Each structure stands twice: as structure tokens, then as C-alpha cells.
Amino acid sequence: MRIHVVFYGRVQGVGFRYSAKQKALELDVHGWVKNKEDGTVELEAEGNEAHLRKFMGALKNGLNPFIKVTHIDQKLLDNEAGYSTFSVK
């Protein structure tokens, strides 16, 4: 299962990407995360459905007190990309 997600809110300059990477490694989720010029954070992740649900739940709730997610655009993608790790771009 693979998803593409854009996070809105206080998500840049607060450790979001590195916290996402740490949680992804804990849950065996692979993909990438990067800051966008418009202040959002873009993420693509793949793994089994249960792990992705836990991963997204953690990201939605904020992985530290400085992160404040106000909106999420999430799309399910058709096939897996075969990522072998989770990287911060």
C-alpha cells in the first residue's frame, strides 16, 4: 500500500520531517518526506496497511508539542514504488 500526503499547519521548522522519519523506521514504513516552498510538508510512504494507519495516526496527532497539523490531503496510490528506506529530502 502506498500513499501521498501533504500536511498543512505548523509543520516546518518544528522537527516534523525528522520525527516522521523516526516513526517510519519504528513501523517499517518506507518512502520520503520533504518541505515544500508553500510551507507545507509532502510525504510519500508505503508499507502494510496496519503500519501505515499507525504512522498516519502519529503524524496527524503531532509527534512533538511544536507540531500542529491543521489539514491533510491524502491520496492512495495504485502501486508500490519499492522504497527500501525512509529519507528526508
pTM above 0.75, yes or no: yes
Q: Answer yes or no: 61 catalytic.
A: no
Provide the CATH number for the domain formed by 2-80 in this structure. Answer: 3.30.70.100
Q: Answer yes or no: 2 catalytic.
A: no
Which of 2, 10, 17, 64 is catalytic? The answer is 17
Domain ranges of the chain: 2-80
pLDDT, residue 63, reads: 85
pLDDT, residue 83, reads: 97
Percent of the chain whose pLDDT exceeds 90? 94
43 in Cβ contact with 7 (< 8 Å) = yes
Which of 2, 10, 35, 79 is catalytic? The answer is 35
Model pLDDT for residues 33-60, shown as the tens digit of each residue = 999 999 999 999 999 999 999 999 999 9
16-27 and 49-61 helices, crossing angle to 10°: 150
